[in-house]
Amino acid sequence: MTKLARTYVRWAMKHSALLRLMVAAKHKSDAPPALIEASNRALSAGPLTIVDGQSTGAVVQGDPLRLALAVFAAAEGLIAICTNGECDGVPIDRLVVEIVQQIIVGIRPRI
């Protein structure tokens, strides 16, 4: 999950204008079905990673889409508040790792 989040954040920071365009186009009422399908395929990596973790007992049971949304929302939050690849002097790559690890601790099954 950390690698996935880090890759997404790096890409989004490098291609912020393209990301905004892609998101805007997807939410138009006349968005082509192929665009919606491509977007859904691209966003399936997070939930599939959660499903994999659930199958090994590393992640609590629950809706993989909603659990992955927590990581995605955290990544989007970092992108929104970090400028020039850092936040308060801390590199965004380090923050992604720390935040995803905190989320993972929060979604582990309780014994």
What string of DSSP letters covers the chain?
-HHHHHHHHHHHHHTHHHHHHHHHHHTSTT--HHHHHHHHHHTTHHHHHHHHHHHHTSS-SS-HHHHHHHHHHHHHHHHHH-BTTEETTEEHHHHHHHHHHHHHHHHSPP-
Q: Are 7 and 106 in contact (CB under 8 A)?
A: no
The pLDDT, as a whole number, for residue 35 is 84
The pLDDT, as a whole number, for residue 63 is 95
Question: The tokens of 66 are what?
Answer: 């909603």
Residue 47 CA to residue 65 CA, distance in Å, equals 5
Determine whether domain 2-107 maps to CATH 3.40.50.300.
Answer: no
pTM beyond 0.85: no
What proportion of the chain, given as a percentage, has pLDDT over 90? 32
